[in-house]
């Protein structure tokens, strides 16, 4: 994928709700318009990220699954 993130957060091995909590903290530290790449291994993270971005108003730019990892690109939108 050709998205260049401003920050990378690896939440591999963490179970819900830790990936969401760490993602929130990381996104809070970004500037408006910057992108966070979050990597998770929890299969539930796909629905969690969709719900969290919808609830918070941030943008889930893209997501993909690579070698058992779930990768999300989240743009700080507010």
User: Of 26, 30, 35, whose CA–CA distance to 2 is shortest?
Assistant: 35
User: Of 75, 76, 66, 49, whose CA–CA distance to 1 is shortest?
Assistant: 66
- The answer to whether 16 is a known catalytic residue is yes
Instruction: Give the 3-state secondary structure of residue 59.
Output: strand
Residue of 1, 15, 16, 51 marked active site? 16
* Residues catalogued as catalytic: 16
């Amino acid at each position: 994928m050709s998205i260049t993130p401003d920050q990378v957060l690896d939440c591999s091995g963490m179970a819900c709700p830790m990936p969401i909590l760490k993602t929130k903290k990381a996104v809070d530290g970004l500037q408006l318009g910057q992108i966070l790449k979050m990597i998770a291994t929890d299969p539930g993270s796909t629905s969690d990220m969709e719900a969290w971005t919808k609830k918070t108003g941030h943008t889930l730019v893209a997501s993909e699954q690579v070698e058992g990892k779930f990768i999300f690109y989240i743009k700080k939108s507010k």
